[in-house]
Amino acid sequence: MADAAKPNRSLVAGVVSGVLASVCCVGPFVLLMLGVGGAWIGTLTLLKPYQPIFIGITLVFLGLAFRRLYLVPQVCEPGTPCANPVTRRNQRIVFWVVTVLVLALIGFTWYGPLLID
């Protein structure tokens, strides 16, 4: 059962670091879309200097999850959830959905200004 949770931990860590990597750009955009305005929105870039670090951490965790789901042979006892092929398939689907969402958040720095202008 512990083996089945390891890809999930990598995915969760990847999502959290991806959100942190994009919070300096997505946060003000979301506030702007909600109608919150003001000059102070421009000061919400406190985490901007750390963005490359967060992006690197995100890619490492997504890489670890990919490695765990596709490259490392799965060893589990019969009757456990990880022995069920449906569980593995669901984990892979979640992985790719999370990866697309996280990469969209990370890329917001480049395509976000096109949405605002």
Secondary structure of residue 95 in the 3-state scheme: helix
Query: In this structure, is the dihedral angle defined by the CA atoms of residues 31, 33, 37 and 43, taken in order, positive or negative?
Result: positive
35, pLDDT greater than 80: no
Report pLDDT for 78. Answer: 80
pLDDT band of residue 16 (cuts 50, 70, 90) is confident
Chain segment 71-94, per-residue pLDDT in tens: 888 777 887 777 788 888 888 898
Mean pLDDT, rounded, for 27-35: 66
- Please state the rounded mean pLDDT for residues 16-40: 66
Q: Pick from 54, 63, 81: which is nearest to 7 by CA?
A: 63
pLDDT in the model for residue 69 = 84
The parent domain of residue 43 ranges over 2-116
Q: How many domains does the chain have?
A: 1
Phi-psi region of 92 (alpha: psi -120 to 50; beta: other; left: phi over 0): alpha
What per-residue confidence (pLDDT) applies to 1?
44
Mean pLDDT for the stretch of residues 40-56? 72
Q: Answer with the residue of higher pLDDT: 41 or 13.
A: 13
